[in-house]
């Protein structure tokens, strides 16, 4: 078993980044250690040693994918200027989500999100619920204090999150950025 309290080795970090690039291209669903190891210049034994198990590797990959998401969330919460309300936060989030440069990480995110719903006991457990909580926290920070802790405030940010997530799924499925952006902007105007 790997000591998760120790600082990761340089080799573990290097292999995690290489594995992350691999799953960004190939997905996580059918992940097999042998082809992964061959492509990243390692062996299944080394990966098992460094990550403890295949599930340990999947958890590390999910944590790595989430780092990019959390970096955006931190930027929205702490950046200047801060979003001026939910519409501004929604516009900024959609701008990031619809950027083609983020397409592969978002496909990986969607795959992990779906897997956490159908395999809640696996390495994916709580991924979807954690993601929802993270995004709702950021959207709450964009709301005025007088609205933030009210049932209506929670409903408004939940609706915005649902619109963003739905539009993202459509965008990933169709690559129809004009249509999905128009839908998001329509919601933000209401």
CA angle 23, 24, 29 (to 5 degrees): 45
pLDDT in tens, 15-67: 999 999 898 888 877 789 999 999 999 999 999 999 999 989 988 988 888 78
CATH numbers and ranges of domains, the chain = 10-189 (1.10.357.10)
Structure tokens at 86: 């939910």
pLDDT in tens, 56-106: 998 898 888 878 777 777 776 676 666 678 998 899 889 989 999 888 888
Tell me the pTM: 0.77
81 HSE (CA, 13 A, CB side): 5
Q: Is 85 helix (H, G, I), strand (E, B) or coil?
A: coil
Res 48: pLDDT: 93
**What distance, in Å, lies between the first and last C-alpha atoms of the chain?**
53
On the question of pLDDT at 168 being above 60, the answer is yes
């Amino acid at each position: 078993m790997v000591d998760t309290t120790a600082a990761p080795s340089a080799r573990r970090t290097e292999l995690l980044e290489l594995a992350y690039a691999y799953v960004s291209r190939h997905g996580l669903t059918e992940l097999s250690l042998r082809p992964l190891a061959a492509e990243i210049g390692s062996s299944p034994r080394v990966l098992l040693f460094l990550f403890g198990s295949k599930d340990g590797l999947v958890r590390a990959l999910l944590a790595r994918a989430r780092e990019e998401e959390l970096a955006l969330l931190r930027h929205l919460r702490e950046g200047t200027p801060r979003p001026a309300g939910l519409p501004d936060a929604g516009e900024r989030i959609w701008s990031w989500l619809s950027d083609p440069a983020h397409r592969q990480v978002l496909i990986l995110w969607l795959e992990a999100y779906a897997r956490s719903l159908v395999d809640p006991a696996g390495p994916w457990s709580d991924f979807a619920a954690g993601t929802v909580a993270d995004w709702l926290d950021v959207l709450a920070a964009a709301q005025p204090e007088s609205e933030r802790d009210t049932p209506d405030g929670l409903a408004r940010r939940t609706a915005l999150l649902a619109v963003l997530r739905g539009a993202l799924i459509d965008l990933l499925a169709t690559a129809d950025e004009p249509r999905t952006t128009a839908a998001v902007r329509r919601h933000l105007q209401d």
